[in-house]
Amino acid sequence: MNRTLGPVARRLARLPGRLYDWHLGWLLGRRFLRLTHVGRRSGRRYRTVLEVVGPGAQPGEVVVMAGLGHHADWFRNILALPPVEVVIGRDRFRPQARVLDHEEAAAVLAAYEARNRLVAPVVRRVLSWLVGWQYDGSAAGRRRLVEQLPLVAFRRAD
């Protein structure tokens, strides 16, 4: 399956990152966050903008999805080294990360879909494109999806 984006889609995908670069990330509200993480091999700092899927089970947590699965560089980096910083809205903090188990991840994703009913067909199409099979939004499909696309919760480190 060809997973490349066209030039217009690439520009749109980069827009949230540009807003954070221009110190305008607050315009995105709490819908997106910017994660700063350290490369597991290079030791370089990287910044990745991720969509917030919803709140986590613990107070102050925000949950994101590894849309490229277990092989996403940011995901592999935070498993190897602690994340450096999360910026969400006007809030900036040193985060603690945890990978959600499949049951909790499926519940968070179900709540996300319920909150975003109007765009659910588009979300399902994008998720189907990411995983390479037709995601139908069913409970069984959701469980299968979160096995491939892990969800991660970030909260302020103690």
**What is the reported pLDDT for 2?**
45
Which residues does 35 contact at the CB level (< 8 Å), separation at least 6?
47, 48, 49, 50, 64, 74, 78, 83, 85, 86, 95, 154
Instruction: At 117, give phi and psi (nearest 5°).
Output: -55, -40
Angle between helix axes 139-148 and 102-115 (nearest 10 degrees) is 120
Q: How many domains does the chain have?
A: 1
Region 48-68: mean pLDDT is 94
Query: Residue 57: inside a domain, yes or no?
Result: yes
User: 153 with 56: CB under 8 angstroms?
Assistant: yes
For residue 23, the model assigns a pLDDT of 77
Nearest Cα neighbor of 35 from 67, 1, 3, 58 is: 67
Q: Is residue 138 part of a domain?
A: no
Q: Is residue 130 part of a domain?
A: no
pTM here?
0.88
C-alpha dihedral, 148 to 28 to 108 to 55, nearest 10°: 130
pLDDT digits (tens, 9 = 90+) for 140-156: 999 999 999 999 999 99
Rounded Cα–Cα distance for residues 56 and 15 (Å): 26
* 129 belongs to a structural domain: no
Give me the domain span that covers residue 69: 7-105+148-156
81 touches 38 (CB < 8 A): yes
Say whether pLDDT at 1 is over 50.
Answer: no
Give the distance from CA 57 to its chain's centroid. 16
Q: What is the CATH classification number for the domain harbouring 78?
A: 2.30.110.10
Residue type, 133: W
pLDDT greater than 80 at residue 56: yes
Q: What angle do CA 95, 97, 98 make, to 5 degrees?
A: 160
Q: Domain for residue 137, yes or no?
A: no
